[in-house]
Amino acid sequence: MIAYSVQGSGAAIAADGLVKRFGDTVALDGFDLEVAPGTVCGLLGPNGAGKTTAVRILTTLLWADAGAASVAGYDVETEAHSVRAALGLSGQTPAVDEILSGRQNLVLFGRLNGFSKAVARRRADELLAQFELTDAADRAVKKYSGGMRRRIDLAVTLILAPAVLFLDEPTTGLDPRNRNEVWQAIRRLVSQGTTVLLTTQYLDEADQLADRVAVMDRGTVIATGSPDELKARIGGERVEVLLADDVRLEQAMAVIEQATGVRAEPYGDGGERRVSVAVNDRVEGLTAVLTGLVAHEIAVTDIGLRRPTLDDVFLTLTGHRTEPTEAETTTEEREEVMA
């Protein structure tokens, strides 16, 4: 696939100190990011962290109050038209015409991208095949499943074979099967050398798809690294212990810390009985915790291993948990509607 080349040798996406306010709300507060050409960057953060605002500025839909940004070497404000020619954007909700068929959407947006009727039709056929939508090509998009909608939306985004692709929460609201379909489609694109910026609330999604992850909180990037680096920082998996009673919580925490060499934390509801600790090796960690507790005769009701969640990343990086916001309620409502 032909991708328009990134201007110069610099980053495919660069943001420097972006600030964006909506009234009294500060959505972006000094947002910095650099994405190398041909890589996948996962922008990870809870709702309200500013992910979508960052994407909207980078895709020329919003102007920043301060700071600068470029995509494919073009300034997003002064060279917006060139940026638009280089980017593909797939927003949080599939932005295709629901009444028209998948093929009609592809031809329409292909023609809007400057293709003749014949080229737009040929390109539509290719993309339908690529996204396994050929059988549904002439059905109205509103009759598509959630995963199919996502795929036709991605196909429309890829008509021009953009050099830089922005995917804003591409799997939010999808069930696991549809999520897999979309992941596979994204992987194929990545293998063809497209630069991708992907926002997500799910650590496993970033883990599956991204070369590098930028963790966002309250309008800024608080950490960047490969998924493995980040997981190492938060200590891979966690051992969770439910104590039989709350009397010996302090002692249990001290014992666990001594056994693993990592700080243990109370967690969840009923935090007075629950302790969790990050471990690098599943078996060793579990054994060490259990051995320590047994040696000190601390009774345990339940013990288990859990993969790190976004919540753990946040707790480790920021010291506070992800707080559900108003925006999150909206997303959940949308998920229900789509389900």
Partner 1 sequence: MIVTTLPDRVGRPSIVHNALRDTWLVAHRDMSQWVREPQLIVWGLLFPVVSVLLFAYVFGSGIVVPGGGDYRSFLMPGIFVQAMVFGIGETIAAVQADTAKGVTDRLRSMPIARSAVVSGRCLANTIYSVLSLLLLVICGLAIGWRWEGTFLEALGAFGLILWLRIALLWIGIYLGLKAKSPEMANGIFGLLWPLTMLSNAFIATSLMPTWLGVIAEWNPISSTINAARELFGNPGVATSTWIGEHSVPMAILWPAVIMALTMPLAIRTFHRLNR
Query: 133: closest CA among 118, 116, 155, 114?
Result: 155
The one among 84, 103, 231, 273 contacting partner 1 by CB under 8 A: 84
Helix-then-strand count for the chain, H and E: 12, 14
Closest CB to partner 1 among residues 91, 170: 91
Residues 76/30, Cβ–Cβ less than 8 Å: no
Query: Which residue is associated with the tokens 């950490």?
Result: 223
Residues 121/101, Cβ–Cβ less than 8 Å: no
Q: Is 89 in the site for partner 1 (CB under 8 A)?
A: yes
Tell me if residue 89 falls in helix, strand or coil.
strand
The one among 62, 72, 182, 289 contacting partner 1 by CB under 8 A: 62
The one among 11, 41, 43, 87 contacting partner 1 by CB under 8 A: 87
Q: Is 327 in the site for partner 1 (CB under 8 A)?
A: no
Q: Is 112 in the site for partner 1 (CB under 8 A)?
A: yes
Residues 235/280, Cβ–Cβ less than 8 Å: yes
Q: Is 78 in the site for partner 1 (CB under 8 A)?
A: no
DSSP-H helix ranges across the chain: 51-58, 80-86, 102-112, 117-130, 146-157, 176-191, 203-209, 227-234, 249-260, 282-295, 310-318, 326-338
Q: Is 2 in the site for partner 1 (CB under 8 A)?
A: yes
DSSP 8-state secondary structure symbol assigned to residue 31? E
Contact segment (CB under 8 A) with partner 1 among 36-44, 79-87, 212-220, 301-309 equals 79-87
Contact segment (CB under 8 A) with partner 1 among 40-48, 76-84, 205-213, 280-288 equals 76-84
Contact segment (CB under 8 A) with partner 1 among 82-90, 179-187, 197-205, 276-284 equals 82-90
Beta bridge partners of 37: none
Report d(CA 199, CA 210) in Å as an integer. 10
Q: How far is the CB of 256 from partner 1 (least distance, A)?
A: 48
Given the rule CB under 8 A, which residues bind partner 1?
A: 1-2, 59-63, 81-82, 84-85, 87, 89, 91-101, 104, 108-109, 111-116, 119, 122-123, 126, 129-130, 140, 156, 160-161
